[in-house]
């Protein structure tokens, strides 16, 4: 009887802890693409910037935006637009290293945090992502032409998380202004 009571006393808190862990994981994932979401980006960016500054290691951030995304929704419907988002997120996930972190920032924007990566590595990664997405021929059996614009920024000594993101975002808009389907370094 006392062994059974002891087991019950251990099982219920363990089950509650596992349920809580599962809820936290669900809250930090984008339900459509399965990649981490904007909420997860906020804490990861702060952590990675602090770590990079402390260890004096390079860190780069890429902001990726699907060019003319609205066209997919308008021409083929929102379900197909969702399929495009999933295909793009999978392509990015298959392109980055396991140590890199991928997030859906919102809408048709994705963010990659690339640790141990300087300007040259960030631009190589940005171009590889851009080329792999441009190489997509079909999504759900439909012929597509998907391009992305990418802004990249390397962490500077004075940067906090917000400054790093703003510089990459500004580079993204420079890439869009220069004609889209390109990568731009901050």
**101: phi > 0 → left, psi -120 to 50 → alpha, else beta; which?**
beta
Cβ pair 130, 150 in contact under 8 A? yes
**Interior CA angle at 93 toward 156 and 151, to 5°?**
35
Nearest residue to 45 via CA among 123, 111, 118, 126: 111
pLDDT at 8 over 90: no
Nearest residue to 82 via CA among 64, 107, 48, 63: 107
Residues assigned a catalytic role: 108
Cβ pair 129, 96 in contact under 8 A? yes
pLDDT at 174 over 90: yes
DSSP letter (8 states) at residue 29: B
pLDDT at 25 over 90: no
pLDDT at 21 over 80: no
What pTM, to 2 d.p., does this model score? 0.88
Cβ pair 82, 32 in contact under 8 A? yes
Helices 38-55, 161-177: axis angle to 10 degrees equals 110
pLDDT at 9 over 90: no
pLDDT-derived band at 23, boundaries 50, 70, 90: low
Q: What is the pLDDT of residue 24?
A: 60
pLDDT over 70 for what percent of the chain? 95
**pLDDT tens-place string over residues 98-155:** 999 999 998 999 999 999 999 999 999 999 999 999 999 999 999 999 999 999 999 9
Q: Is the dihedral of CA 67, 143, 129, 104 positive or negative?
A: positive
Q: What is the pLDDT of residue 2?
A: 79
CB hemisphere CA count around 32 (13 angstroms): 20
Cβ pair 167, 153 in contact under 8 A? yes
């Amino acid at each position: 009887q006392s062994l059974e009571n002891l087991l019950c006393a251990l099982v219920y808190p363990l089950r509650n802890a596992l349920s809580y862990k599962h809820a936290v994981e669900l809250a930090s994932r984008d339900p459509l693409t399965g990649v981490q979401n904007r909420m997860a980006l906020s804490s990861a960016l702060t952590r990675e910037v602090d770590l990079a500054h402390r260890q004096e290691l390079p860190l780069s951030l890429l902001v990726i935006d699907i060019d003319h995304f609205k066209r997919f929704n308008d021409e083929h419907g929102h379900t197909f637009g969702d399929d495009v988002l999933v295909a793009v997120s999978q392509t990015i996930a298959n392109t980055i290293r396991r140590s890199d972190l991928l997030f859906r920032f919102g809408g048709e924007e994705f963010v990659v945090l690339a640790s141990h990566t300087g300007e040259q590595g960030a631009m190589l990664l940005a171009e590889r992502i851009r080329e792999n997405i441009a190489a997509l021929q079909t999504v759900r059996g439909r012929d597509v032409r998907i391009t992305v614009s990418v802004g990249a920024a390397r962490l500077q000594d004075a940067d906090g998380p917000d400054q790093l993101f703003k510089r990459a975002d500004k580079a993204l808009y420079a890439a869009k202004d220069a004609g889209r389907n390109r990568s731009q370094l901050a």
